[in-house]
Copies of this chain bind each other. A is one copy, B any other.
Amino acid sequence: MSLLIVGTVAFDELITPFGESGKILGGSGTYAGLSASNFMDDINIVSVVGEDFPEEHLANFRKKGISTEGINVVKGGKTFFWKGKYHNDMNTRDTLDTQLNVLADFDPVIPESFRKSDFLMLGNLTPAVQMNVLDQMEERPKLVILDTMNFWMDIAMDELKAVLKKIDVLTINDEEARQLSGEYSLVRAAQKIFEMGPKYLIIKKGEHGALLFGEGEVFFAPALPLEEVFDPTGAGDTFAGGFIGHLAHTRDISFDNMKRAVIFGSALASFCVEKFGTERIAAITPEEMNERVSQFIELTQFEIEL
């Protein structure tokens, strides 16, 4: 099965209580793609970078089974850059610098050969760009997952609601679910959001885990309790990439398989935060993955005879 990811490929610079990263590879498309590459190798990223983006990063994507044909390198352009500083609790951060650069005019063109992808992940971009991508697909993908944030709810709610009608899985955090639905209870929020289009809702709660809602079904996966969170950047995109990567690899979109996908996504997110940027998720061995999933089994599984 083929997986198409539309998202940012960017530079990040991170300051945490543990040190400074310098200018490193980042972006939602990057994290999601590298995360999914732990399951499959027919992955396509559609994005935009500037001429300053090192060919080395693109070569590394290709080594991981990620096509870079859809990553538009803008001549004379500069790559999207974000700089942030995490507070001591690692849960809150300040943005120190945002340079949109080539992202400001991002008008994704889906290469011909990607337009029949079976699985589509729309990273956190303007709803109009997300809709534009959907319009270019020649066949309705088997599953479309969309990530968004409160910013678009504040300034582009109508466009967001239009694109929500056309997707299957929405990933947002708990505050965003409340904002989008107007409901404080997450159960009621899910019901309202289902009326907007999505058939599944994943509520990302960071260190408090993730909830997967389906019609009449709900599943919860905790975050792995860690001794140290070194850098939380990209954990949400890593989760989403692992989620859809597992589904695409197994070609099974049943709720039971989505539960497994949530666990794999959570396991990948727990790797992501161990080092700066994408360093850790680009170097996971199958043994390490099995060991990590075993930890989730110990953490959550119990036996009760009723």
Contacts and interface: CB of A to CB of B under 8 A. Distances in A.
Interface of A: 88-90, 184-188, 205, 208-209, 211, 217-220, 222, 225-229, 256, 259-260, 263, 290, 293-294, 297-304, 306
Given A185-B227, A229-B185, A303 B256 contact: yes
Nearest to A297: B304
A211 to B, nearest CB: 6
In the A-B complex, the 8 residue pairs with the smallest Cβ-Cβ separation, listed nearest first, are A208-B208, A259-B302, A220-B222, A187-B227, A290-B306, A187-B225, A220-B299, A300-B300
Nearest to A205: B208
Contacts of A88: 184
Copies of this chain, how many? 2
A226 B185 contact: yes
B185 A211 contact: no
A25 to B, nearest CB: 27
Contacts of A290: 306
Given A89-B184, A186-B225, A222-B222, 5 more contacts: A185-B228, A187-B227, A218-B225, A260-B303, A293-B306
A225 B208 contact: no
Contacts of A293: 304, 306
Q: Which one of A186, A220, A229, A294 has the highest number of Cβ atoms from chain B below 10 Å of its Cβ? A: A220
Contacts of A256: 302-303
A189 to B, nearest CB: 10
A263 to B, nearest CB: 6
A204 to B, nearest CB: 13
A40 to B, nearest CB: 17
Nearest to A212: B299
Contacts of A184: 88-90
Contacts of A301: 300-301
Nearest to A302: B259
Contacts of A260: 302-304
Contacts of A225: 185-187, 211, 218, 220
A31 B299 CA distance: 28
23 contacts: A89-B184, A185-B226, A185-B228, A185-B229, A186-B225, A187-B225, A187-B226, A187-B227, A188-B227, A205-B208, A209-B209, A209-B222, A211-B225, A218-B225, A218-B299, A220-B225, A222-B222, A260-B303, A263-B304, A293-B304, A293-B306, A297-B304, A300-B301
Contacts of A217: 298
A208 B222 CA distance: 9
Q: Which one of A88, A184, A228, A263 has the highest number of Cβ atoms from chain B below 10 Å of its Cβ? A: A184
Contact of A302 (B208, B211, B263, B303): B263
